[in-house]
């Protein structure tokens, strides 16, 4: 199924590097994955509707209601430090 040459081609495309031992393990893992996918192809799915999630999920969205917001002055009322209508905070990123 998967040989050293194919693995090296995949590694070149993916731009990954591995040791010889890691390559042997990867080949075994890839063979097992391919065998599992082939086994899944045997499952009878006639009449099974495709689904995007295995559980029924219902979104709980809040009602979109326009509300009155704080004015700029009200928002800054308890600010420990402010300047020109903005919160003032300590500089944390040095340039």
Assign residue 18 the CATH number of its domain. 1.10.20
pLDDT in tens, 13-63: 999 998 999 999 999 999 999 999 999 999 999 998 888 888 887 888 888
91 is a domain residue? no
Q: Does a structural domain hold residue 47?
A: no
Do the domain assignments include residue 18? yes
- Domain assignment present for residue 93? The answer is no
35 within a domain of the structure (yes/no)? yes
The count of structural domains within the chain is 1
Helix H or strand E segment including 39: helix 20-40
Structural domain for 11, as ranges:
4-40
Whether the model clears a pTM of 0.75, i.e. scores above it, the answer is no
Degrees (nearest 5) of the Cα angle 4, 20, 24? 55
Specify the residue for token string 């999630």.
53
- What sign results for the dihedral spanned by CA atoms 75, 77, 80, 81? positive
- Domain for residue 57, yes or no? no
């Amino acid at each position: 199924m998967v040989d050293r040459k194919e693995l090296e081609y995949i590694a070149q495309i993916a731009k990954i590097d591995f040791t010889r031992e890691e390559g042997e393990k990867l080949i075994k893992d890839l063979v097992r994955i391919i065998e599992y996918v082939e086994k899944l192809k045997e499952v009878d799915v006639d009449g099974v509707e495709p689904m995007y999630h295995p559980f029924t999920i219902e979104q709980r969205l809040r009602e979109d209601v326009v509300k009155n917001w704080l004015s700029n002055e009200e928002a800054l009322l308890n600010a420990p430090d402010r300047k020109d209508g903005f919160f003032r905070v300590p500089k944390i990123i040095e340039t």
